[in-house]
Chains A and B, each alone.
Chain A
Amino acid sequence: MYLTVDFEDKRPLYQQVVDGIKELIARGTLREGATLPSVRQVAGDLGVNLNTIATAYRQLQEEGLVAVRHGFGAVVKARRSDFAGQDELRKGLRAALTQLVLAGLAEKEIVTMVREELAVVGGKAK
Chain B
Amino acid sequence: MGSDWKVILCYSITVLYRLWWIPIRAWRLPLKNGERYFQDIEVPEGWHTSAEGRKWWRRYRATIIVPHALEACGLMAIALWGQWKQLPMLSLVAPVFVGMTLAFIAWWRHANRARIQRPQRVAVSLEERKLRTYFSWSLEAALAMLIAASWAIMAWRGDADIHWRWPLTLTYVVIGLIVMKAQVVKHGWALPANRTAEYQHWDEFRRRYASRVLDRMRFMNIVILAGYAAVHSLAGVAPIGAIRGAAFAAGLGLSVWMMIGIARGETAFLRGSARSLLPPATTIIDWKKGWWSFGAFMAGLALLMFWPER
Bound CA–CA A42/B188 (angstroms): 9
- Name the segment of A4-12, A80-88, A98-106, A117-125 touching the other chain: A4-12
Given contacts A44-B187, A44-B286, A47-B189, contact A7 B124 (CB under 8 A): no
- Name the segment of B56-64, B126-134, B153-161, B242-250 touching the other chain: B126-134
Q: Contacts of B200 on A, CB cut-off 8 Å? A: 2
Could you say which interface size class chain A belongs to? Answer: 20 to 34
Tell yes or no: B196 within 8 A of A by CB: yes
Kindly identify, within residues 47 to 74 of chain A, every residue whose CB is under 8 Å from any CB belonging to chain B. Answer: 47, 73
Tell yes or no: B3 within 8 A of A by CB: no
Q: Is the CB of A4 within 8 A of B125?
A: no
Q: Is the CB of B128 within 8 A of A38?
A: yes
Interface centre among A1, A38, A41, A45 (most CB of B within 10 A): A45
Question: SS class of chain A's interface: helix, strand, loop or mixed?
Answer: mixed
Nearest Cβ in chain B — how far from A103, in angstroms?
A: 22
Given contacts A5-B190, A7-B122, contact A47 B286 (CB under 8 A): yes
Query: What is the interface of chain A, defined by CB distance below 8 A to chain B?
Result: 1-8, 21, 24, 30, 35-38, 41-42, 44-47, 73
List 11 additional contacts besides A4-B122, A42-B124; criterion CB under 8 Å. A4-B121, A5-B123, A6-B120, A6-B121, A7-B121, A37-B128, A37-B129, A45-B190, A47-B190, A47-B284, A47-B285
Query: What is the interface of chain B, defined by CB distance below 8 A to chain A?
Result: 118, 120-129, 186-191, 193, 196, 200, 284-286
The 8 closest A-B pairs by CB, nearest first: A47-B284, A2-B123, A45-B124, A37-B128, A45-B188, A4-B123, A6-B121, A1-B126
